[in-house]
Every structure is written in C-alpha cells, then in structure tokens.
C-alpha cells in the first residue's frame, strides 16, 4: 500500500539471513498484528558495523520515497559491543532523525545476534532443524553441552547452538532456514526484547 506516492517501509539489514528472515516476517502481517504493507529490504555491504555506522547515510535519500524506515543489526559485530543494546539503538535512531527521518525511523539491535529470534518457537525450530525427538529432547541436548540453562528460554550462544544442532542432524545452515522459521513460527511466543520492539513498531505504524 502507498500513501501520496510513498512506499510504506524500507528495512536495512546486515546480511542475507536477516534479509530473507525479515521479508518472511513482513509477509505475515496479520499474524504479527499489522496491516499489509508495501516494503523493501536492503542489505549493507559492511554488515552489522555498516548498519551501525552508516544507516543514516544509506537511508537519507530514501526518506522521500518511504513513509518509515527500520535499521536492523546484531549487537555482536556492530563494532560498539561495549555499549548496551539500547544505547546502540539510540545512536542509530539519533542519526536517522537528523538525516531526514524525524520520528519515522527505528533501530532494532538484536542481542547478541539474529539467531536469538529463531529460538522463540521451539516447535518450529525442531521441525526446520530436523530434530525428530522434539523440543524437550533438543533442550536436554543443549543443556548437556552448556548451550542452555535451565532458567533461560533460549540458548546462551544462539548462533553456535543452532550450528551445533544442524551438524547433529546433518543439515546445513542456510538463509532458507531463516525464511522457513520466520514463516512458520508463532511470533507471540518470542520474548526477545528486540523482536518485541520490531513487532510493536510495525503495529504502531501500520495499525489494522
């Protein structure tokens, strides 16, 4: 949908995995609680650090073509890991506001990395990873290898945990995996703070 010739949303991400995952999420508007939108997702060639350092420069010219913008990167790899996730988001948003976007832009910084979003729905994860014994068995396997603590809902090192599980099932990590999980997972079960901000921002901008 467009308003006054503008597309609804442009999203800047750090890599192909994030690109396909975000596209899949944005295509599930009804599930995430916002109206159908017209969007584009682009990648920064310098990945997470590029998004942090240059999102405002890359998106400046797009402020007259899109109603809203979101910049997404991992905290791990952004180059300023000594800052908190919220501090990194605030710096990116400050630069976006000063470069044509005003209050029409948001930054989403995932702690520590994109794979944190994958573990929100364990049923979807075991299906896409090929863990036939089910979620409880995968959780035990990860706890035995110090990837998961009994009091935590997702692995401590989500990317490494995903790759280890995939090796165990003789599957490869791929962008298609991110798309599959994003298309099938129940987003209401994801309690990751960055994901909640992503979803609530979309709901506020594009109310049904």
Do 201 and 99 reside in the same domain of the chain?
Answer: yes
Res. 3 pLDDT band, cuts 50 70 90: low
Do 87 and 52 reside in the same domain of the chain?
Answer: yes
20 pLDDT more than 90: yes
User: Could you tell me if residue 197 is inside a domain?
Assistant: yes
Do 99 and 137 reside in the same domain of the chain?
Answer: no
Question: What is the token pair recorded at 5?
Answer: 């010739």
Pairing outcome for strands 6-13 and 39-43: parallel
Distance CA 68, CA 60 (A): 12
Do 173 and 94 reside in the same domain of the chain?
Answer: no
Question: What is the token pair recorded at 86?
Answer: 């919220």
Do 85 and 127 reside in the same domain of the chain?
Answer: no
104 pLDDT more than 50: yes
124 pLDDT more than 80: yes
User: Could you tell me if residue 105 is inside a domain?
Assistant: yes
Do 130 and 76 reside in the same domain of the chain?
Answer: no
User: Could you tell me if residue 186 is inside a domain?
Assistant: no
Do 8 and 107 reside in the same domain of the chain?
Answer: yes
- Please report the pLDDT score of residue 85 as a whole number: 97
Q: CB under 8 Å to 102, separation ≥6 — which residues?
A: none
User: Could you tell me if residue 131 is inside a domain?
Assistant: yes
User: Could you tell me if residue 116 is inside a domain?
Assistant: no
User: Could you tell me if residue 200 is inside a domain?
Assistant: yes
Do 14 and 86 reside in the same domain of the chain?
Answer: yes
Res. 1 pLDDT band, cuts 50 70 90: very low
Q: What would the mean pLDDT of 142-152 be, rounded to a whole number?
A: 94
Q: What would the mean pLDDT of 1-23 be, rounded to a whole number?
A: 89
Mean confidence (pLDDT) of the chain: 95
Q: What pTM was computed for the model?
A: 0.94
Do 54 and 8 reside in the same domain of the chain?
Answer: yes
Containing structural domain, residue 16: 2-111+192-205
Do 17 and 35 reside in the same domain of the chain?
Answer: yes
Please state whether the peptide bond connecting residue 112 to the residue before it is cis, i.e. omega within 30 degrees of 0.
yes
pLDDT in tens, 163-185: 999 999 999 989 999 999 999 99
Do 201 and 173 reside in the same domain of the chain?
Answer: no
Res. 45 pLDDT band, cuts 50 70 90: very high
User: Could you tell me if residue 187 is inside a domain?
Assistant: no
Do 15 and 100 reside in the same domain of the chain?
Answer: yes
- Please report the pLDDT score of residue 193 as a whole number: 95
How many independent structural domains does the chain possess?
2
> Which CATH number does the domain housing residue 49 bear?
3.40.1360
User: Could you tell me if residue 150 is inside a domain?
Assistant: yes
Distance CA 65, CA 125 (A): 36
Q: 55 by DSSP, 3-state: which? A: helix
Q: What would the mean pLDDT of 134-149 be, rounded to a whole number?
A: 96
Q: What would the mean pLDDT of 11-30 be, rounded to a whole number?
A: 97
């Amino acid at each position: 949908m467009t308003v006054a010739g503008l597309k609804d949303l442009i999203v800047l991400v750090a890599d192909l995995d994030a690109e396909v995952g975000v596209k899949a999420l944005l295509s599930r508007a009804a599930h995430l609680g916002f109206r159908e939108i017209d969007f584009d997702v682009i990648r920064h060639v310098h990945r997470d650090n590029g998004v942090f350092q240059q999102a405002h420069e890359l998106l400046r010219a797009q402020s007259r073509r899109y109603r809203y913008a979101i910049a997404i990167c991992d905290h791990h790899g952004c180059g300023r890991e000594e800052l908190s996730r919220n501090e990194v988001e605030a710096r990116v948003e400050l630069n976006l506001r000063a470069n044509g976007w005003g209050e029409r832009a948001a930054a989403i910084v995932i702690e520590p990395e994109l794979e944190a979003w994958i573990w929100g729905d364990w049923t979807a994860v075991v299906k896409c990873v090929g863990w036939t014994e089910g979620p409880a068995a995968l959780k035990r396997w990860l706890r035995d290898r110090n990837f998961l603590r009994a009091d935590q809902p997702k692995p401590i090192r989500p990317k490494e945990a995903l790759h280890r599980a995939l090796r165990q099932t003789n599957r490869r990590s791929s962008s298609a995996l991110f798309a599959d999980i994003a298309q099938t997972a129940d987003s209401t079960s994801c309690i990751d703070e960055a994901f909640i901000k992503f979803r609530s921002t979309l709901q506020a901008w594009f109310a049904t």
